[in-house]
Amino acid sequence: MVSGRVQGVGFRPTVYRHAVEAGLTGFVRNSPAGVEVEVQGIGPMIEVFLARLKTRCPRQARMDTLHVEHLPVRPDEQGFQIMPSERSGDLVVGFPPDLAACGDCVREVLDPSDRRHGYPFTNCTNCGPRFTIVSSLPYDRARTSMADFPLCERCHKEYTEPSDRRFDAQPNACPDCGPRLSILGADGQVLPVESPLLEAVRLLKEGRIGAVKGLGGYHLCCLARNDEAVQKLRERKGRREKPFAVMFADADEVTRYCEATPAEVLEMLDVAAPVVVVPRHAGTDLSDLVAPDTRDVGAFLPYTPLHHLLLKKVSPLVMTSGNVSEEPITHAEAELSRILGRIADFALVHNRPILRRCDDSVVRLVRGEKMVLRRSRGWVPAPISLSRGGPPVLAMGAELKNAFCLTRGAQAFLSQHIGDLTEHPSLAFYEEAIADLCGLLGVEPGVIAHDLHPAYESTRLAAARPADRRIAVQHHHAHIAACMAEHRLEGPVIGVAMDGSGLGDDGTIWGGEFLVADYRQCQRRGHLQTLRLPGGEGAIRHPVRMALGMLHAEFGAEADRIGSRWLPALQDADRQVLLRMLESGTQAPVCSSAGRWFDAVSALLGLCDTISYEGQAAVRLQAQAAAGASREYAFALDMQNDCILLSFRPMIRKMLEDLHASVPSADIARGFHETMAAGIAAVCARLAESGPTDKVVLSGGVFQNELLLLLVTDALSRRGLRAYSHREVPPNDGGIALGQAAVALATMEAG
């Protein structure tokens, strides 16, 4: 018996070929527990078969266990066959996500002599859509959006021939029987052209903006070398400065434009085909408007035959989610009016329905180790194994970058990227996706886990859903539990949760926390020096206000004079109003957020006064720090209410001195990062002295900052502490639902 991701991925045909090559008899079939294989033959050839099964699996398969037992010989058995299965594609055994086009299919599409030459919907058992086209299980063609495309004679022969790599490939099709392309103008009418693909190429070369239908939704695209087109896309989409992803034709083109390591290129070539964040080369003709705040660019490769055909003729292309900023990705032609004519000048569409929207995944490699920043297409709905099971739990996730989590047994299924629940379309998608995944998994969760914050839409919906039990999980405990679950740590651990904000147990805003935690309980043992947010949440959108708050925290009334010198973006009258808020505490709540410290320093250095996307001030600060000389400011560890307080008061004064001395802002930015890292390590070392553990778990959106993560990891290592950071789920709020689910399961186990 083989368990893991072994159904719907071409595993049975692979077993068939290996068995026939080894001269074995027997059978292979799907079962609810995995794939059952029975072979009979000469002993050495059985060993050869098992070795090939372990080393020559389909690229998207994953064998978790291979259980072997000896059976009596069947003297009358002849041949090897694939037997019918009652539960093909059951999610219990690892139903696959959408898979990037394989090399064999790409070669066929580009081969003028092949019958699938130029066909944009070519696939086989090794590649193609899965999650985005299946309506229900078991996974077969009748339950996918390919049901309305009857197989032609040649495709049917491939589909039913066990030795063919298209055996049982549910989306199998060709130009004679499969989906077709068409192209729409800005008015939504079909353009009467001979080749929709070539017309799209022509329009893109003219500098037009297109909407291209992919696997999980539409991309908005334009020439990445055309400043005017990129700027036009920014203005129309309402995305002033947030970086765009860029699709390159092939790996060679990636390395011409980007400083991508071999490991990063391999990640792009993975079956998941994620967007990989890499530095750009200086001096290329890639538009600076692609990522104006940073040298980094999200680079990825074509992952459908349509992308390969398009990028062969026009490349590189900006490929960003087909939506108005912060709304869900458009996935159906009925929704095209949201972007066509308003943002896109044309749409390259096809008639294979997308049943389930799913945005691109995003990763970064940190010292060669993968860090997932957005877990979506290519990984969803692959489960994450937990250290304990229990009744089904629905974990609602957070307010921003939402993804929810559903458990079944000891498996956790994180949803695709939902987005920010503050937007009504995202909220509707959220409710739709919860119902969809519950139906696909066949579970009705009786336990609901949610954030403490009563104003979160996710919390409101948790209260509205019927449940046997609701479990509130503090935001930063969930962050730490998510990373623990990923590494299968039981605790206790020292948890370092650094993010923008989350409601604390005491009702104040937390975000720079040192916790001692396991899944069942969490104790706050330290935090960053608190700052006030003048104007409340408005300070998050205006980092210059945080800079004034930081100056007021250290200099009191002198902050007015200092602010007039170093914060010119604040008008005198505005500064006076904000200072009165800071003095009185009115409309100036206290927070311990690490994110707000990054905002404050960024604004103090003149890098970002007002943000147009979440984390922009920190992105600019990190970009500056990357070029700065190493330096470390002083900090202090104090005790406050039985908590260690990491105070940056000495650093604030020294940064002001450096500004007066005209020290380069890059050096000051670097000094801030190194001081933050040194302070974090010092607090962890102090906590470890009391003996609970030497394991330190790092989580929260601030640890998306590669520089900070490396500095903290190294500083902890020098102190003899073991650091654990995220790999498979995001450190930001996109991974928090996994932590909520893990805490809920442990709580249920405790009774």
Asked if residues 340 and 347 have their Cβ atoms less than 8 Å apart, the reply is yes
* Rounded Cα gap, residues 546 and 621, in angstroms: 14
Mean predicted confidence (pLDDT) in 315-324: 96
The amino acid sitting at 315 is: S
Structure confidence at residue 327 (pLDDT): 85
Instruction: Please report how many Cα atoms fall inside a 13 Å half-sphere around the Cα of residue 268, on the Cβ side.
Output: 27
What pLDDT band is residue 436 in, cutting at 50, 70 and 90? very high
Mean predicted confidence (pLDDT) in 588-612: 98
**What pLDDT, in 10s, does the model give residues 109-164?**
999 999 999 999 999 999 999 999 999 877 789 999 999 999 999 999 999 998 89
Domain 2-89 sits in CATH at 3.30.70.100
Q: For 28-32, 50-54, 160-164, 524-528, which range has the lowest pLDDT when averaged over its residues? A: 28-32
**What pLDDT, in 10s, does the model give residues 156-192?**
999 999 889 999 899 999 999 999 999 999 999 999 9
* Rounded Cα gap, residues 29 and 168, in angstroms: 12
* Rounded Cα gap, residues 166 and 96, in angstroms: 16
The two beta strands, 346-350 and 210-213, are: parallel
Which ranges in the chain are annotated with CATH 3.30.420.360?
365-488+732-750
**What pLDDT, in 10s, does the model give residues 210-245?**
999 999 999 999 999 999 999 999 999 999 999 999
Q: Is the pLDDT of residue 690 over 90?
A: no
Which ranges in the chain are annotated with CATH 3.30.420.40?
527-724
Asked if residues 11 and 31 have their Cβ atoms less than 8 Å apart, the reply is no
**What pLDDT, in 10s, does the model give residues 511-525?**
999 999 999 999 999
Mean predicted confidence (pLDDT) in 314-328: 92
Structure confidence at residue 138 (pLDDT): 74
List the structure tokens of 6: 């072994």
Mean predicted confidence (pLDDT) in 694-720: 98
Q: Is the pLDDT of residue 37 over 70?
A: yes
Structure confidence at residue 153 (pLDDT): 98
* Rounded Cα gap, residues 699 and 709, in angstroms: 10
Which ranges in the chain are annotated with CATH 3.30.70.100?
2-89
Going through 355-439 in order, the beta strands assigned E by DSSP cover 362-366, 369-374, 384-385, 393-395, 405-408, 411-414
Helix axes 543-555, 649-660, angle to 10 degrees: 110
Q: Is the pLDDT of residue 91 over 70?
A: no
Structure confidence at residue 90 (pLDDT): 47
* Helix ranges restricted to H, 10-149: 11-21, 43-55, 103-110
Backbone angles phi, psi at 137, to 5 degrees: -105, 155
Mean pLDDT score across all residues of the chain: 95
CA dihedral 679, 684, 690, 692 (to 10 degrees): 170
Domain 365-488+732-750 annotated CATH 3.40.50.2300: no
Domain 181-350 sits in CATH at 3.90.870.40
Number of residues in the chain: 751
Domain 527-724 sits in CATH at 3.30.420.40
Q: Is the pLDDT of residue 49 over 80?
A: yes
Mean predicted confidence (pLDDT) in 521-531: 97
* Rounded Cα gap, residues 529 and 639, in angstroms: 11
Cis before 316? omega within 30 = yes
* Rounded Cα gap, residues 527 and 333, in angstroms: 49
Q: Is the pLDDT of residue 286 over 50?
A: yes
Q: Which residue has the higher pLDDT, 267 or 163?
A: 267
Asked if residues 260 and 249 have their Cβ atoms less than 8 Å apart, the reply is no
Mean predicted confidence (pLDDT) in 689-705: 94
The conformation of residue 290, written as its DSSP 8-state character, comes to G
Structure confidence at residue 500 (pLDDT): 95
**What pLDDT, in 10s, does the model give residues 651-685?**
999 999 999 999 999 999 999 999 999 999 999 99
Task: Name the percent of the chain lying above pLDDT 70.
Answer: 99
Query: In terms of Cα–Cα distance, which of 500, 522, 518 is closest to 509?
Result: 500
Burial zone of 84 (CB within 10 Å; 0-12 exposed, 13-18 middle, 19+ buried): exposed
Q: Is the pLDDT of residue 88 over 60?
A: no
**What pLDDT, in 10s, does the model give residues 407-429?**
999 999 999 999 999 888 999 99
Mean predicted confidence (pLDDT) in 678-705: 95
pTM reported for the whole predicted model: 0.94
Which ranges in the chain are annotated with CATH 3.90.870.40?
181-350
